[in-house]
Amino acid sequence: MKSGRSLVELARELERQVGTKKDLLVPLPRTHYCTTENGECALEIEEPGGMQRYGITALARRQLAEKLKIPYAYFERMRTEQPELLDRNVNAWLSKEEGERQLLRTLDGQVRAVLSERYRRLDNHDLVEHVLPALQALPEARFESVELTETRLYLKVITPRIAFEVAPGDVVQAGVVVSNSEVGCGMLSVQPLIYRLVCRNGLIASDRMLRKTHVGRALDSEENSGVVFKGDTLQADDRAFFLKVRDVVEAAISESTLRAAGEKLKDTKGIRLASDPVRTVEVLAQRYALTESERSGVLRGLIEGGELSGYGLVNAVTAYSQQVADYDRATELEALGGRLIDLAASEWRALTATA
């Protein structure tokens, strides 16, 4: 499993972000897009105290382009080759955006997300504050990997007290992964996690025990355009939901949950790959949109592992995830391992059949 930062480092960063992030609820016609003297993108926003200028992250640019129905590839081409043309285009469409306001989430002086006013904020700091005690109370809890990327928070916890032997000497332990996005890149979710001791591979079970979408009623602000305040109703909803998260964490890391996933993993040992493992990995790469380097890495892991079975393929995918530089992508590959153990027999045949 790919390692991240320590719990102390995570807590410090979350506290720092609380002090610098700000949410603004604004009609888009009351914003102005511009390219600065040093070539950076900026969004000027009308706030109660006057116009304020913010930078724009790559994710926020993509969301803004989608909102204005400008193809993102064209948006980026204008940004790099014709910035003045981009300024004119964006501002022309901003001026015509009527209707609901947009929630602009800012951090460190940059707009990091452009979202609907109905976006339901479930923030990382609040989540950790409520869920961490439940995770720490798990038997011999070990925070195997925690991380805070630009788009998501991850808490991956293992307990050695709950284990399952897939084969003699090949033991997996129970775990849970809690993840959340503050910027519109996914739901808040709690999923079972399987940790293989011999190679430190992590596999995220595909059956999501809890999912919470970030959609709710329209947000309130002090004025038509301004800082968003969280109402008492939303705060009460948050508390109730985070209590539910704690309950689901306990269920996700139970012996019955591990056994069910462990049996699925064990069954993949009986799935023999075709005589051409190269083609099997090529089909896998096409079906699950692996890059060329990911395809090569999985194939190398499969061959080096020496087990040409479904089990070997699952472990090749999750082992390669540890080599991926991007933490978000590494987690996606851990989840792909979980999807593979859930494949029906017909899907395995299509994956492993010769041409």
pLDDT in tens, 79-137: 999 999 999 999 999 999 887 789 999 999 999 999 998 888 888 998 898 889 889 98
Q: What is the pLDDT of residue 212?
A: 60
Range of the domain at 207: 124-264
Q: What is the pLDDT of residue 198?
A: 81
pLDDT in tens, 286-315: 999 999 999 999 999 999 988 899 999 999
**Rounded-to-integer distance, Cα 260 and Cα 315, Å:** 18
For residues 247 and 291, membership in a common domain is answered with: no
User: Is residue 228 over pLDDT 70?
Assistant: no
Is 109 within the bounds of a domain? no
Choice between 57 and 138, residue whose per-residue pLDDT is larger: 57
Is 155 within the bounds of a domain? yes
Give the end of a domain, one of 244, 264, 284: 264
Is 207 within the bounds of a domain? yes
Q: Which residues pair with 119 in a beta bridge?
A: 215
How are beta strands 110-116 and 50-56 bridged, if at all? Answer: parallel
User: Is residue 222 over pLDDT 70?
Assistant: no
Give the end of a domain, one of 264, 297, 329: 264
Q: Mean pLDDT lowest for which of 161-170, 258-267, 311-320, 346-355?
A: 346-355
Burial 290-328 (b: 16+ CB within 10 A, else e): beeebbebbbebbeebeebbbbbbbbbbbbbbbebeebb
Backbone angles phi, psi at 63, to 5 degrees: -65, -40
Report the percent of the chain where pLDDT is more than 70.
Answer: 90
For residues 165 and 258, membership in a common domain is answered with: yes
Nearest alpha carbon to residue 185 among 114, 287, 242: 114
Nearest alpha carbon to residue 10 among 175, 125, 112, 106: 125
For residues 183 and 284, membership in a common domain is answered with: no
Q: What is the pLDDT of residue 276?
A: 82
Q: What is the pLDDT of residue 115?
A: 94
For residues 154 and 244, membership in a common domain is answered with: yes
Is 327 within the bounds of a domain? yes
For residues 137 and 212, membership in a common domain is answered with: yes
For residues 222 and 137, membership in a common domain is answered with: yes
Instruction: Give the Å distances, CA to CA, from 80 to 42, 290, 292.
Output: 14, 28, 27
Is 211 within the bounds of a domain? yes
Average confidence (pLDDT) over 168-177: 91
User: Is residue 178 over pLDDT 60?
Assistant: yes
* Dihedral-angle region of residue 130 (phi above 0 means left; psi in -120 to 50 means alpha; beta otherwise): alpha
Average pLDDT, rounded, for the chain: 88
User: Is residue 229 over pLDDT 90?
Assistant: no
Is 193 within the bounds of a domain? yes
How sure is the predictor about 62, in pLDDT bands with cuts at 50, 70 and 90?
A: very high
For residues 222 and 250, membership in a common domain is answered with: yes
Q: What is the pLDDT of residue 98?
A: 81
Q: What is the pLDDT of residue 213?
A: 61
Is 61 within the bounds of a domain? no
For residues 129 and 259, membership in a common domain is answered with: yes
In contact, 60 and 90? CB cutoff 8 Å: no
Q: How many domains does the chain have?
A: 2
User: Is residue 200 over pLDDT 80?
Assistant: yes
Q: What is the pLDDT of residue 220?
A: 55
Is 285 within the bounds of a domain? yes
For residues 280 and 242, membership in a common domain is answered with: no
Q: What is the pLDDT of residue 46?
A: 84
For residues 191 and 322, membership in a common domain is answered with: no
Give the end of a domain, one of 216, 235, 264: 264
Q: What is the pLDDT of residue 118?
A: 86
Q: Mean pLDDT lowest for which of 47-56, 69-78, 319-328?
A: 47-56
For residues 221 and 298, membership in a common domain is answered with: no
For residues 298 and 259, membership in a common domain is answered with: no
